[in-house]
């Protein structure tokens, strides 16, 4: 069974930073936070657990927040109580909106996971991108992944600089502020155009998109191709892909993966065998299912099997 750590304890941190660390017997697992007074928070973390680790995460603050996470090494996952999932991986950026949340962070044994996060409050986003776009980005209850993509070299350069300990200069805080805003500008530039440029969709197209989503949910055990899905609902492939991004904020492939993984998790918890759970969500070969599950959640199917029993 994965380790479930007790509440974290404060440890020594650089000036201006707060540090939280798990007990040493679980491995080297700690996070540091630096808060600026204008709605910006920088967090950097290193988790290298000795065994599979599940860490409860509770945020009772209902204020709108955008979180930009850059993976510097390793992979991990987050699963909210309402079933929403986030994934983090080396060389990739994850954009997520929060408004209060309760879930679990999940890490695999022996895998060092280093990440850097930039948290922007709703008020900060209002200043930088305008209230209308800010509201659209963060109008969620709980947590929602907005995007997950390969980080640009420029963003990774800023992230690696921010992940370093302060140099002890008088201008450290100013340097941090500049680097944080530079990183935010790069990532918001990636996210912001989508709501502005999204085309309008007719009521008929919206109904077809809803039907496509229902097909993914009810036929996830089949080999669902984009061509099949488009033909089944009467949309061309381009309109189907564009419609999914505009209306659901994701791609058909990504939505199918999330639906399959959530269903597989539920099956495994009730005692379904790994191979059978994979088969029921469309994986004919158990190794392929295990690899996909581990990439998505940051832990193996066997670590979930029979959890409720």
Q: How far apart are CA 161 and CA 96, in angstroms?
A: 22
Q: What is the predicted pLDDT for the residue at 216?
A: 93
CA angle 191/163/74 to nearest 5° reads 75
Superfamily the domain 9-197 falls into: Jelly Rolls (2.60.120.10)
Name the stretches of the chain with pLDDT < 50.
1, 7-10, 194-198, 309
- The correct CATH number of 203-303 out of 1.10.10.60, 3.40.50.300, 3.40.50.1820, 1.10.10.10 is 1.10.10.60
Q: What is the predicted pLDDT for the residue at 52?
A: 92
Q: What is the predicted pLDDT for the residue at 72?
A: 93
Q: How far apart are CA 126 and CA 134, in angstroms?
A: 5
β-bridge partners, 71: 90, 115
Q: Give burial (CB, 10 Å; 0-12/13-18/19+) of 202.
A: exposed
Q: What is the predicted pLDDT for the residue at 292?
A: 93
Instruction: Give CA separation, 175 vs 37, 182, 222, in Å.
Output: 15, 11, 52
C-beta neighbour count of 216 within 10 angstroms = 20
Q: What is the predicted pLDDT for the residue at 193?
A: 52
Q: What is the predicted pLDDT for the residue at 309?
A: 45
pTM, full prediction: 0.60
**Which of 257, 247, 260 lies closest to 208, judged by CA?**
247
User: Domain segments of the chain: what residues?
Assistant: 9-197, 203-303
| Nearest-10 crossing angle of helices 172-191, 153-163 | 150
Q: How far apart are CA 161 and CA 233, in angstroms?
A: 48
């Amino acid at each position: 069974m994965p380790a479930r750590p007790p509440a974290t304890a404060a440890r020594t941190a650089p000036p201006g930073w707060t540090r939280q660390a798990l007990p040493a017997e679980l491995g080297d697992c700690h996070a540091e936070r630096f808060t600026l007074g204008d709605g910006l928070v920088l967090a950097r973390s290193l988790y290298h657990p000795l065994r599979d680790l599940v860490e409860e995460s509770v945020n009772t603050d209902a204020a709108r927040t955008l979180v930009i996470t850059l993976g510097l090494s390793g992979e991990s996952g987050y699963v909210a109580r309402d079933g929403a999932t986030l994934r983090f991986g080396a060389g990739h950026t994850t954009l997520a909106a929060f408004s209060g949340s309760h879930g679990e962070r999940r890490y695999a044994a022996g895998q060092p996971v280093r990440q850097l996060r930039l948290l922007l409050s709703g008020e900060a986003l209002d200043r930088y991108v305008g209230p209308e776009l800010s509201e659209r980005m963060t109008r969620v209850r709980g947590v929602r992944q907005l995007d997950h993509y390969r980080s640009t070299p420029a963003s990774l350069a800023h992230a690696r600089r921010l992940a370093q300990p302060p140099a002890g200069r008088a201008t450290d805080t100013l340097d941090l502020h500049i680097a944080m805003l530079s990183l935010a500008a790069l990532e918001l530039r990636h996210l912001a155009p989508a709501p502005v440029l999204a085309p309008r969709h007719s009521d008929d197209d919206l109904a077809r998109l809803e039907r496509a989503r229902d097909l993914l949910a009810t036929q996830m055990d089949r080999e669902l191709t984009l061509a099949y899905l488009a033909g089944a609902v009467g949309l061309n492939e381009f309109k189907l892909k564009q419609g999914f991004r505009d209306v659901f904020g994701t791609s058909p492939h990504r939505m199918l993966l999330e639906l399959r993984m959530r269903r597989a998790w539920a099956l495994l918890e009730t005692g379904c065998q790994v191979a059978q759970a994979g088969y029921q969500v469309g994986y004919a070969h158990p190794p392929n299912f295990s690899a996909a599950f581990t990439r998505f959640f940051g832990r193996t199917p066997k670590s979930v099997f029979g959890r409720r029993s």
